[in-house]
Amino acid sequence: MALLGTIVNGIAIIAGSLLGLIFRNVSDKTKDTVLQGIGLSVIILGVGMGLKSQEFLIVIGSLAVGSALGEWWNLEEKLNELGAWIERRVGAKEKGGIARGFVTATLVYVIGAMAIIGALDSGLRHDHTVLYTKSMLDGISAIIFTSALGIGVAFSAVPVFIYQGLIALGAAFIQDVVPKELMNSIIVELTATGGVLITAIGLNMIKVTAIRVANMLPSLLFTIIITVIVHHV
């Protein structure tokens, strides 16, 4: 079953979020410190991923073009509007709380090599090991995220399921069309571009910057396009 790993991942995020609600009554000071600790860890993770690039000009070009397109589409605002809509539907008392948790968790869980590689493994070989590992990590981080950011984290399971599910279902088609060497290069450069975005998320979490990371998401698509062009020139 190609979607098994993705389903487990979604359930892990929701379960972790529900457990995180238990720790919501801790002091704001403690929450801030915990969130700063997570943010610093996310920065280190992102830097490590970014350094994996073999052709960093692809990453730079992808970020430049993708960010411009994302600003034009105003993806950040649309994600925030979706979070606000969820708030209204569930009658949240803390205005902006659900939106922040939803947007932050969605970006962290969707951007990254494990989401792509794990979904590809699920679709191509029905091997869910990577997504099972990601599920454990996401579930644990969901506990911490929810304790600091609220129940909005749980709703991030929906875009995670859609994103990874589409990759898993399309994996068979990808295997027939894309040569293995090109696919490996795409994964490496996607990992690096994703690492830059994850670093930006970490900087936002510790409130050093206010980077509109969601507006940079099209960079991931342009990483694929530019990598294909480079390898065919």
Distances (CA, A) of 117 to 73, 106, 110, 114, 189: 27, 17, 12, 5, 12
Residues 6+ apart with CB under 8 A from 156: 13, 101, 102, 105, 106, 109
Two tokens, residue 207: 């409130």
Position 71, amino acid: E
* Sole residue written with tokens 């790993």: 5
Position 113, amino acid: A
Tell me the CA end-to-end span of the chain in Å, nearest whole number: 38
How far, in Å, CA of 8 to CA of 122, rounded?
12
92 confidence band (pLDDT: 50, 70, 90): low
| Number of domain units in the chain | 1
91 confidence band (pLDDT: 50, 70, 90): low
90 confidence band (pLDDT: 50, 70, 90): low
Instruction: Tell me what the mean pLDDT of segment 57-68 comes to.
Output: 96
Domain coverage including residue 192:
4-232
Residue 226: what are its φ and ψ, rounded to 5°? -65, -40
Does residue 26 surpass a pLDDT of 60? yes
pLDDT reported for residue 203: 92
Does residue 167 surpass a pLDDT of 80? yes
132 confidence band (pLDDT: 50, 70, 90): very high
223 confidence band (pLDDT: 50, 70, 90): very high
Least confident segment among 6-10, 104-108, 174-178: 174-178
Packed helices 28-50 and 180-205: angle between N→C axes, nearest 10 degrees: 150
pLDDT reported for residue 124: 78
Does residue 148 surpass a pLDDT of 70? yes
Cβ neighbours, 10 Å, residue 158: 16
Packed helices 75-90 and 56-73: angle between N→C axes, nearest 10 degrees: 60
